[in-house]
Amino acid sequence: MTRLSSLLSRLLKSNRFLAIVSLIVSFVIWFNLSQVYNPVSTRDISDVPVTFRVSSALAADGYEVIKNSEITVDVTVSGKTANISSLSANDIDIVANITGQGIKTWTLDSSDNRNFDVIAMSMNQVTVMTDIFNRDGENFEVTAKSNNVSAPDGLIVDAAKVKDEAFSQIKIKGAQSVIDKIAYVVAETDVNDTISETTDFDGNIALFDHEGKIIDSSYVFLSFDTAKITVPILMKQEVPVVVTFENAPKDNPVKATPSIKTVVVKGPQQLIEKLKSVELEPINFADITPDTTEFVQKIRMPESIESNDGNVEIAVNLEMKGITYKNIVVTNSCFEPQNVTQGLTATMDSFTVKIIGSSSVLKGITADDIVVSADLKSYSKGEHSGVPVMVKFANKSSAWVAGLYTADIKQS
């Protein structure tokens, strides 16, 4: 006991020992005070994500918040240093409770946080769209439009076109109520210049409703935002219309008059300068009779050339003055079969044909002037009905056969 007392006496008289003991006691006192009387401090934290809680009723009907990117807010938190010193943005709850559909503004709520308070936010409200999210999307045709563009004298600015077919259709996903309003989609560019040759531009995608008003695309997602469009610079010219025929007799007795004698066409300058006329699709003489003298024929436009005045077909009147018809029975003696099966003979039953021409020409025509031919390459031995045949004149130059014919033919 005397030895222990002596040791304690020496330690208590040692300044170094007393300093160590004082340090330990001070730490213990500070630690206990910091746990019981920890002072409140503040801290700024950036980019805290906003959580959107859609009411169960809306969620049951498929509604959700639609946004193009995560919405965040900067906050200032207050609390005990031990509680807030290690907080990250994801540890803080900033909530918008969504109870209605459409574009609405909601107040942000931070009351769910524990052990600290949010005392300031960079924004207290947020505006979002709550709608049914169409994830499959809908496809829309893309048309092109160029604004404020002109061409030199003698040339014209034609309607802009989407250059790449891959961009002629766009898929749009997102808010169904917005998609339902879309009437058409345009790739649009402002040229603001005079151009003398066909030029490509970048067109920005814009959405329009049925009244031609632009639609806010903030709540939909486009498969592309821009598309290359071509602004054609063309030349236009008025050219005559030419009526053409097929299966016409050598001496054509019919006078054809188109209802429109000239049309205005447009196309690349180097092609238009060489174009002298445009032809109509041919009128088949087999369709012409004294009772059938009116035809509507499409214009045969050369490649890269099109109508500028909207005319794509033209009515044609045939003057049939002095033209009449006559029925003639053709017999097997008129038949000239082709590709008859080897070793067999082909014969044809008689049938009646209608021939057209002037009275004076028809008066001298008999069955001996008519030739009937048929290709029998695909026909075997036996009787065959309804075989297509060609009926023509052997030597008459101003008459023709009206209609198409078939015959009953036998190979034996």
Q: Give per-residue pLDDT as tens, 328-370.
A: 999 999 999 999 999 999 999 999 999 999 988 999 899 999 9
The per-residue b/e assignment along 384-393, b for 16 or more CB within 10 angstroms, e otherwise, is beebebebeb
Nearest to 208 by CA among 229, 225, 231, 187: 187
Judge whether residue 168 has pLDDT over 80.
yes
In this chain, the answer to whether the domains covering 134-231 and 323-411 adopt an identical fold is yes
CA angle (278, 284, 285) in 5-degree steps: 120
The per-residue b/e assignment along 33-53, b for 16 or more CB within 10 angstroms, e otherwise, is eeeeeeeeeeeebeebebebe
Q: How far apart are CA 188 and CA 159, in angstroms?
A: 12
Handedness of CA 80, 81, 86, 92 (dihedral sign): positive
Fold held by 323-411: RNA Polymerase Alpha Subunit; Chain A, domain 2 (2.170.120)
**408 and 350 in contact (C-beta within 8 Å)?**
no
Alpha helices (H) along 228-369: 269-272, 359-363
Q: How far apart are CA 290 and CA 138, in angstroms?
A: 55
pLDDT at 5: 61
pLDDT at 69: 82
pLDDT digits (tens, 9 = 90+) for 266-311: 999 999 999 999 999 999 999 999 999 999 999 999 999 999 988 9
pTM over 0.75: no
pLDDT at 275: 95
CATH superfamily membership of 235-319: YbbR-like domain (2.170.120.40)
Q: Report the largest interatomic distance among the alpha carbons of the chain, rounded to a whole angstrom.
A: 167
At 18, the pLDDT band (50, 70, 90 cuts) reads low
Q: Which region among 12-16, 22-26, 382-386, 397-401 has the lowest average model confidence (pLDDT)?
A: 12-16
**373 and 334 in contact (C-beta within 8 Å)?**
no
Residue 31 one-letter amino acid: F
Q: How far apart are CA 120 and CA 91, in angstroms?
A: 16
CATH superfamily membership of 134-231: YbbR-like domain (2.170.120.40)
Average pLDDT (255-272) is 94
The per-residue b/e assignment along 222-239, b for 16 or more CB within 10 angstroms, e otherwise, is beeeebebbbbbbbbbee
**CA count, 13 A, side-chain hemisphere, 68:** 8
At 242, the pLDDT band (50, 70, 90 cuts) reads very high
- Domain definitions of the chain by residue range: 40-123, 134-231, 235-319, 323-411
**355 and 372 in contact (C-beta within 8 Å)?**
no
Tokens 């509507």 identify what position?
296
**347 and 332 in contact (C-beta within 8 Å)?**
yes
Gyration radius of the chain over CA positions:
46
The domain defined by 40-123 carries CATH number 2.170.120.30:
yes
Q: What percent of the chain has pLDDT over 90?
A: 80
Q: How far apart are CA 59 and CA 245, in angstroms?
A: 70
